[in-house]
Amino acid sequence: MAHLEDPFPVPDPTLPFWRTQLHELDDHRSTEQLPTYCDVLIIGAGYSGVATAYHLLNNNPSPPSVVILEARQACSGATGRNGGHVKPDLYFNILNYSRKYGAENAAEFARFEAANVLAVKDLVEKENINCDYHLTRAVDVYLDEKHAKQTEDSYKELLTLGTANLSDVQFTSGKDAESLSGVKGAKACFSFTAAHVWPYKLVMRLLSLVVKKGVNLQTTTPVTSVSETPNSDGTWTVNTPRGSIKARKVLFASNGYTAGIATQFAHKIVPVRGICSRIVTPEGKESPFLPYTYSIRYGPSLYDYLIPRSDGSIVVGGAKGDFWHEKKWWYGVTDDSKMIEPAKNYFDGLMQRTFKGWEDTGAYTDRVWTGIMGWSSDFMPYVGEVPNKPGQLILAGFSGHGMPLICLASKGIAEMLKGERFEDTNIPKLFKPSVERLMSEKNEILDSLAKPAPPSKL
Ligand SMILES: Cc1cc2nc3c(=O)[nH]c(=O)nc-3n(C[C@H](O)[C@H](O)[C@H](O)COP(=O)(O)OP(=O)(O)OC[C@H]3O[C@@H](n4cnc5c(N)ncnc54)[C@H](O)[C@@H]3O)c2cc1C
């Protein structure tokens, strides 16, 4: 087994664009001392933890007492450092999943992702959230002829199978792919409904709503351990350097760091470091407007993903081609205070070399940052009760792809925290944490390195 770094958030992460305008709750502590007891204790103030608190209190006439413990500042983990791309997987991995899990489970997965894009829209409109949410289409562009052909074949097979709903997916090939996408050398492209968002603003608005309703938020309060067994009254003891809290229910919303405090997830949810950037056009110059979000697929496992922002800037992540071959840069890495050295200049000139009409814009990389994802060893998130730990639940392991999953997954977890069974929620069956998943020796992240066509997210 590969060595995993110290699985706790480091205190001095790189500064992502999204965190250049901080919310007043960023380093908030609701009370000077930690409470000694709560009904629900949430570990992690990212999208998962905060959206769960929101759903738990929303339209709840007898709300539980809730404490959120966050190791660093609110929304300073992956959510505050990602690409802002809310892009469902409607076709790309669906044939693989159909073969592996059965067509109905694969279709359920795709339906759930598509539903999330619109669920975020509903949430943003309902709560009047100023987070630059923009509903658009994602365009997946294939630059490699062979990869384009393989994907076209898989798509046609999916159409024949007929289980997944592909009515929103448009396939374009040949010369039209280049003119539709604006990407030089495009061999084929797929487009479908997606969105982009300022993730920090989305989460911080939800956080302000729940703090107003009485949620006790404690930032810079890392959880160091959770008791191995429940106390005699059925509560769990959650320990921090500032004291302990007894909680009736505990939710691990701790993403890539989960194994540090729930060791059964070691090698099941693996910290994986990614890199992202913001590209801007110099004052006085103009760049062509990009109407969509994009994934630029250079080959089966190599891709960049990008969103255009209304301020004219572009947020781009990926760069795997420059560092993926050496695991030490990304696998099992929890340190987002450092750059991924071989990739730190990757984004320079990306727009000029990729998009038609950008050659003379002078667009340059304004900022580069890193962040820690939680990749699960079977690429499915863990959403539900932790096996053999009554009262402990988990919402983590989104494998670099949480934005089209967390809105509805957190709703389902909130229902479970209120007492619903997993089976009575809308969470896809594949996401259920099971003893079999935890016992499996398989690590598809590492297996995928040896294969020509590993699953690729975003
Ligand atoms: C560079 C990068 C780009 C990405 N781009 C995209 C994208 O464009 N689209 C997409 O869908 N997904 C993307 N992702 C993935 C996406 O950001 C995540 O899936 C999602 O944000 C996960 O949310 P979360 O709340 O589960 O985790 P996080 O946002 O990481 O929140 C977990 C929180 O738990 C806290 N925590 C951890 N351990 C402890 C502890 N022991 N005690 C207390 N607190 C603790 C952490 O400090 C953190 O704040 C990207 C991720 C990265 C890093």
Centre of ligand 1 from the C-alpha of residue 79, in Å: 5
Spatial distance between the Cα atoms of 360 and 82, rounded to a whole number of angstroms: 28
Write the CA distances from 176 to 173, 188, 237, 290, 398, integer angstroms: 6, 8, 60, 17, 34
Helix or strand or coil: residue 372? strand
Examine the fold and report which residue of 340, 360, 376 is the final residue of a domain before the chain moves on. Answer: 376
pLDDT at 450: 79
Centre of ligand 1 from the C-alpha of residue 45, in Å: 9
Q: Is the sign of the CA dihedral 146, 149, 154, 155 positive or negative?
A: positive
Same domain for 300 and 420? no
Nearest to 249 by CA among 38, 33, 425: 38
Q: Which residues approach ligand 1 with their CB closer than 6 A?
A: 8-9, 43-49, 69-72, 76-79, 81-85, 222-223, 253-255, 257, 260-261, 274-276, 305, 317, 371-373, 396, 398, 400-404, 406, 458
**Which residues on adjacent β-strands are paired with residue 392?**
250
pLDDT (tens digit per residue) in 242-294: 999 999 999 999 999 999 999 999 999 999 999 999 999 999 999 999 999 99
Contact predicate 207/75, CB 8 Å: yes
Residue 343: inside a domain: yes
Spatial distance between the Cα atoms of 433 and 423, rounded to a whole number of angstroms: 12
Tokens of 198: 């300022």
Residue whose CA lies nearest to ligand 1 atom number 4: 82
Examine the fold and report which residue of 376, 398, 429 is the final residue of a domain before the chain moves on. Answer: 376
pLDDT at 2: 43
For residue 49, which atom of ligand 1 is closest to its CA? 25
Same domain for 62 and 31? yes
Same domain for 217 and 179? no
Contact predicate 86/47, CB 8 Å: no
Residue 104: inside a domain: no
Would you give the distance in Å from CA 445 to the centre of its chain?
A: 16
Residue 254 identity (one-letter amino acid) = S
Examine the fold and report which residue of 376, 405, 420 is the final residue of a domain before the chain moves on. Answer: 376
Spatial distance between the Cα atoms of 15 and 337, rounded to a whole number of angstroms: 9
Mutation test of ligand 1: which of 4, 12, 47 has the most ligand atoms closer than 8 Å to its C-beta?
Answer: 47
Write the CA distances from 364 to 67, 142, 313, 393, integer angstroms: 42, 24, 10, 44
Range of the domain at 177: 134-195+271-376
Nearest to 58 by CA among 119, 130, 121, 123: 123
Residue 96: inside a domain: no
Spatial distance between the Cα atoms of 397 and 164, rounded to a whole number of angstroms: 24
Same domain for 208 and 187? no
For residue 260, which atom of ligand 1 is closest to its CA? 41
Centre of ligand 1 from the C-alpha of residue 77, in Å: 5
Same domain for 278 and 371? yes
Same domain for 73 and 214? yes
Helix or strand or coil: residue 385? strand
Write the CA distances from 44 to 41, 51, 289, 394, 411, integer angstroms: 10, 11, 37, 11, 16
The CATH number assigned to the domain holding 214 equals 3.50.50.60
For residue 276, which atom of ligand 1 is closest to its CA? 1
pLDDT at 453: 46
Centre of ligand 1 from the C-alpha of residue 145, in Å: 34
Same domain for 263 and 387? yes
Residue 431: inside a domain: yes
Same domain for 259 and 370? no
pLDDT mean for each 10 residues of the chain (458 residues): 70 97 98 98 98 97 97 98 98 95 96 98 98 98 96 96 94 95 97 98 98 98 97 98 98 98 97 98 94 96 95 97 96 97 98 97 98 98 98 98 98 98 98 98 92 49
Same domain for 151 and 169? yes
Same domain for 393 and 354? no
Spatial distance between the Cα atoms of 137 and 169, rounded to a whole number of angstroms: 10
Contact predicate 301/448, CB 8 Å: yes
Tokens of 337: 């205070």
SS (H, E, C) 33-86: CCCCEEEEEEECCCHHHHHHHHHHHCCCCCCCCEEEECCCCCCCCHHHHCCCEE
| Strand blocks (E) in 149-223 | 170-173, 188-196, 216-218
Centre of ligand 1 from the C-alpha of residue 78, in Å: 3
Position of tokens 């056009």?
281
Spatial distance between the Cα atoms of 79 and 39, rounded to a whole number of angstroms: 25
For residue 84, which atom of ligand 1 is closest to its CA? 8
Spatial distance between the Cα atoms of 417 and 243, rounded to a whole number of angstroms: 24
Contact predicate 247/67, CB 8 Å: yes
Pairing mode, strands 314-317 and 302-308: antiparallel
Centre of ligand 1 from the C-alpha of residue 405, in Å: 12
Counting beta carbons within 10 angstroms of the beta carbon of residue 94, is it exposed (0 to 12), middle (13 to 18) or buried (19 or more)? buried
For residue 258, which atom of ligand 1 is closest to its CA? 38
Spatial distance between the Cα atoms of 217 and 29, rounded to a whole number of angstroms: 5
The CATH number assigned to the domain holding 188 equals 3.30.9.10
C-beta neighbour count of 424 within 10 angstroms: 11
DSSP structural state of residue 349? T
Same domain for 172 and 210? no
Helix or strand or coil: residue 90? coil
Centre of ligand 1 from the C-alpha of residue 3, in Å: 21
Pairing mode, strands 66-69 and 37-43: parallel
Residue 154: inside a domain: yes
Centre of ligand 1 from the C-alpha of residue 261, in Å: 16
Cα-flanking dihedrals φ and ψ of residue 72, to 5°?
A: -120, -135
